[in-house]
């Protein structure tokens, strides 16, 4: 069981027996008032979204999902294809249901496919993934303009801010929970 | 350099933060305020129903320097300010850090209306520009700021009365979801005259004792500061603290000892007004930062 204090982006909870994923979370507290936990969440089956505000002390059941380790194969139209490593069974997940996970999918990445009542409804990617930088402007050594980050595109097409010293072709680690640059992979 | 990226990325923001702090200090020095320091670890925080202190070696980390600073006022320090760390248990979000930086100042022989003007001047001095650009909003700060009562804000933005919202227990939700996003979007907004029950340390308004002389400042929907004309009646203050303590107990919260030395000092405190301003939040707004994380060197999670 979760309490309101456990709510955060990415948490999956059950409401009326259906799985929901928190897509936005923030803590609010109007001056001298009580703590409020503001969420936007998405129904993982229908894709419909809603805003909910909770108070301290409210409790939630975790979403009852089965997860199976699968390998990412390819994207076809607006579907992503994965294969079960043990049974070689292949499944498809819509782009909409992928959420931010699609930013990190490279060939052969191992992910947890989430199953609800025998139907795949989403994926969990590892907390950290390594992706290669395919485009970023070069760093001019001695640049004192004070720019402390620059945009970079990685091999999945995802764009994020990176330190100025990162060059094209380098491998970087991204924290998938925040979508932010974490560190440079040496070698 | 694992873990150093947020620090590198924030360099510009932290340099600007330092400059803003210098301007804030300069503002108070020019106006004859004395910068003071009071202990962070205290035996008895103000017993407010919704503010939770972090226990520390038998005492507590301060949630605000309010009680110690008022004891200084009572002892004959008429204009004082402090920039210090405060701690509030369980508060973490895009505008909240459990450990954050507060600016508090107290002024004898003044009321909350005087503080509204002083706050305008302070923020103008800190911003050094006629407009604050925050999250796509252009907030004009050189003209007089908006003033709206809490009652009017509920009527205008929440479609209900402040008293009905209090009665129904929806005051905080309506404030966060319907009212706050509308405040301080074209000009900064002072929202004032809060229900007496939400103002444990504020003086009641003589012409309407159902409300207290308390205001909050909002810029771009972000709550920046909270102020009041101070309650200086020790008997009334003790009664209000007892009510807050009861509310804490009924919701199973940690009890605090009564702040007896503060209550004793209150008898000799002059008429005064005081204000607590979240400096991290002011920096956020001035630098157009989407999260408080972007304007501090370290968040809790990065330690």
- Look at A183 and B5 and tell me if their CB atoms are within 8 Å: yes
Output the domain CATH number for residue A142.
2.40.50.140
Domain-terminating residue out of A14, A41, A62: A62
A26 touches chain B (CB under 8 A): yes
> B25 — contact with chain A (CB < 8 Å)?
no
Q: What is the pLDDT of residue B192?
A: 98
In B, residues 161-180, which contact A (CB 8 Å cutoff)? Answer: 171-173, 175-177, 180
Higher pLDDT, residue A99 or B28: B28
Residue B65 pLDDT = 98
Q: Please say if the pLDDT value at position A141 is more than 70.
A: no
**Residue of B11, B98, B169, B173 to mutate when probing chain A, most A C-beta within 10 A:** B173
Q: A78 and A119: one domain?
A: yes
Return mean pLDDT, chain B.
96
Compute the average pLDDT of residues B277-298: 97
Report helix, strand or coil for A93.
strand
Q: Which of B278, B134, B283, B112 lies closest to B203, judged by CA? A: B112
- Give the nearest partner residue to A27 out of B8, B96, B223, using CB atoms: B96
> CATH no. for residue A39?
2.30.30.30
Residue A12: which pLDDT band, with cuts at 50, 70 and 90? very high
- The CATH class, in words, for B5-302 is alpha beta
Mean pLDDT, residues B163-183 taken together:
97
Cβ distance B200 to A56 less than 8 Å, yes or no, reads: no
pLDDT value of residue B230: 97
**Residues A135, A136, A138, A140: what is their CA dihedral angle, to the nearest 10 degrees?**
180
Q: Is the pLDDT of residue B237 over 80?
A: yes
The residue among A34, A62, A90 that closes a domain is A62
**What are A70-93's pLDDT values in tens digits?**
999 999 988 999 999 899 999 999
- Contact at CB, B50 and A35, closer than 8 angstroms: yes
DSSP secondary structure, chain B, as one string: -TT-HHHHHTHHHHHHHHHHHHHHHHHHHHTTPEE----SEES-----TT--PPEETTEEE-S-SHHHHHHHHHTT--EEEEEEEEE-TT--BTTB-SEEEEEEEEEET--HHHHHHHHHHHHHHHH-SSEEEETTEEEE-SSPPEEEEHHHHIIIIISS-HHHHHHHT-HHHHIIIIIGGGTTSSS-EEEEEEEGGG-TTBPEETTEEEEEEEEEEEETTEEEEEEEEBP--HHHHHHHHHHHHHHHHHTTPPP----HHHHHHHTTPPSEEEEEEEHHHHHHHHTT-SSGGGGSS--GGG-
pTM: 0.92
Give the per-residue pLDDT at A142.
64
Residue A139: the pLDDT is 78
Q: Clarify whether residues A165 and A177 are in a common domain.
A: yes
Residue B2, pLDDT score = 52
B5/A34 touch (CB, cutoff 8 Å), yes or no: no
Are A141 and A117 in the same domain?
Answer: no
| Residues of B with Cβ-Cβ distance to A25 under 8 angstroms | 93
pLDDT for the residue numbered A99: 87
Measured between beta carbons, the chain A residues lying within 8 angstroms of B194 are: 32
Mean pLDDT of the B114-135 span: 97
Same domain for A36 and A70?
no
| Shared domain check, A134 and A120 | no
Which ipTM did the prediction report?
Answer: 0.91
Shared-domain flag, residues A48 and A77: no
pLDDT for residue B132: 98
**Which region among A161-175, B24-38, B67-81 has the lowest average model confidence (pLDDT)?**
A161-175
Q: Is the pLDDT of residue A1 over 60?
A: yes
- Reported as a pLDDT band with limits 50, 70 and 90, residue B9 is confident
A87 in B contact zone (CB under 8 Å): no
Q: What is the pLDDT of residues B13-26, one digit of tens each?
A: 999 999 999 999 99
Q: How many domains does chain A have?
A: 3
| Confidence tier at A168 by pLDDT (50, 70, 90) | very high
Q: What's the confidence (pLDDT) of residue B236? A: 95
Mean pLDDT computed over every residue of chain A = 92
- Whether the CA torsion A148, A154, A157, A158 is positive or negative: it is negative
Structural domain of A55: 2-62
Cα dihedral B177→B179→B185→B187 (10° resolution) = -160
Model pLDDT for residues B42-86, shown as the tens digit of each residue: 999 999 999 999 999 999 999 999 999 999 999 999 999 999 999
Token couple for B38: 């009071």
Task: Tell me, yes or no, whether A146 and A113 share the same domain.
Answer: no
When pLDDT is cut at 50, 70 and 90, the band that residue A52 belongs to is very high
Answer yes or no: do A160 and A116 share one domain.
Answer: no
Domain boundaries in chain B? 5-302
Q: Are residues A55 and A8 in the same domain?
A: yes
**pLDDT tens across A88-137, in order?**
999 999 998 898 999 999 988 999 999 999 999 999 999 999 999 999 99
Among A78, A96, A124, give the residue marking a domain's end.
A124
- Scan residues 127-166 of A and list those with Cβ closer than 8 Å to B: 146, 148-149, 161, 163
| Contact yes or no for B216 and A182 at CB 8 A | no
Chain A residues touching residue B93 (CB < 8 angstroms): 25-28
């Amino acid at each position: 069981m979760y309490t309101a204090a456990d709510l955060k982006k990415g948490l999956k909870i059950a409401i009326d027996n259906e799985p929901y994923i928190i897509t936005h979370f923030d803590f609010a507290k109007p001056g001298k008032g009580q703590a409020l936990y503001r969420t936007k969440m998405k129904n993982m089956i229908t894709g419909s979204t809603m805003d909910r505000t909770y108070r301290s002390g409210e409790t939630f059941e975790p979403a009852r999902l089965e997860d199976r380790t699968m390998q990412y194969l390819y994207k076809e139209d607006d579907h992503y294809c994965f294969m079960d490593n043990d049974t070689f069974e292949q499944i498809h997940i819509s782009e909409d249901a992928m959420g931010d996970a699609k930013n990190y999918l490279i060939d052969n990445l191992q992910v947890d496919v989430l199953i609800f009542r025998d139907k795949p409804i989403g994926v969990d990617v590892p907390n950290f993934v390594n992706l290669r930088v395919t485009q970023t402007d070069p760093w001019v050594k001695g640049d004192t303009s004070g720019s402390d980050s620059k945009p970079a595109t990685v091999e999945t097409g995802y764009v994020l801010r990176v330190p100025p010293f990162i060059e094209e072709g380098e491998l970087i680690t991204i924290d998938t929970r925040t979508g932010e640059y974490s560190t440079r992979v040496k070698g | 350099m694992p873990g150093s990226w947020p620090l590198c990325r924030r360099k510009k923001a932290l340099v600007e933060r330092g400059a803003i702090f210098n301007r804030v200090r300069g503002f108070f020095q020019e106006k004859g305020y004395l910068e003071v320091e009071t202990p962070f670890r205290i035996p008895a925080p103000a017993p407010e129903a919704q503010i939770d202190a972090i226990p520390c070696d038998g005492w507590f980390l301060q949630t605000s320097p309010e009680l110690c600073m008022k004891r200084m006022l009572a002892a004959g320090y008429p204009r004082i300010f402090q920039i210090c760390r405060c701690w509030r248990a369980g508060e973490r979000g895009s505008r909240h850090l459990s450990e954050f930086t507060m600016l508090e100042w107290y002024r004898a022989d003044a009321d909350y209306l005087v503080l509204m003007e002083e706050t305008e001047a302070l923020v103008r001095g800190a911003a050094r520009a006629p407009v604050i650009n925050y999250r796509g909003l252009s907030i004009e700060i050189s003209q007089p700021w908006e003033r709206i009562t809490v009652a009017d804000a509920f009527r205008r933005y929440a479609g209900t009365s402040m008293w009905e919202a209090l009665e129904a227990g929806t005051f905080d939700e309506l404030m966060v979801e319907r009212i706050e996003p509308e405040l301080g979007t074209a000009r900064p907004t002072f929202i004032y005259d809060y229900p007496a029950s939400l103002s444990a340390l504020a003086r009641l308004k003589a012409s309407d004792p159902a409300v207290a002389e308390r205001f909050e400042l909002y810029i771009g929907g972000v709550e920046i500061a909270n102020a009041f004309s101070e309650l200086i009646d020790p008997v009334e203050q003790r009664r209000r603290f007892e009510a807050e303590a009861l509310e804490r107990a009924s919701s199973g919260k940690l009890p605090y000892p009564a702040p007896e030395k503060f209550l004793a000092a209150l008898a000799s405190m002059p008429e005064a007004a005081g204000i607590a301003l979240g400096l991290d939040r002011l920096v956020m707004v001035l630098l157009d930062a989407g999260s408080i994380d972007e304007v501090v060197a370290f968040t809790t999670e990065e330690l």
